Amino acid sequence: MATQTGLMVGVRIKEIATRDHSYTNCTVMHSDSIGLVFEVARTVSEGGTIENVVSQVLVPWVNINYVLLMEERT
């Protein structure tokens, strides 16, 4: 039987902090012993046009300072 490592796909994350960047309101797409792949929506302004962009980001665990999981109440 395989053991589960990393975070489950679909888990909502409040914040992921690396040395250089902080990402908020992310969703886990893949997680293993090497790194974390997550999706984050952000607003960008390019040439006077403001757009909402969804990015998929891969960050190795060694570059992640901390991960805050989102809290849900029912």
End-to-end CA distance of the chain: 33
Confidence (pTM): 0.79
pLDDT tens, position by position, 3-14: 556 789 999 999
Whether the Cβ atoms of residue 61 and residue 34 lie closer than 8 Å to each other? yes
Domain parsing of the chain, residue ranges: 12-69
Q: Work out the number of other CB atoms within 10 angstroms of the CB of residue 11.
A: 16
pLDDT, tens digit (0-9, with 9 covering 90-100), for 35-56: 999 999 989 898 889 999 999 9
CA pair distance 52, 39, nearest whole angstrom: 13
Q: From CA 16, how far away is CA 23, in angstroms rounded? A: 5
% of the chain surpassing 70 pLDDT: 89
Residue 62, phi then psi, degrees to nearest 5: -65, -20
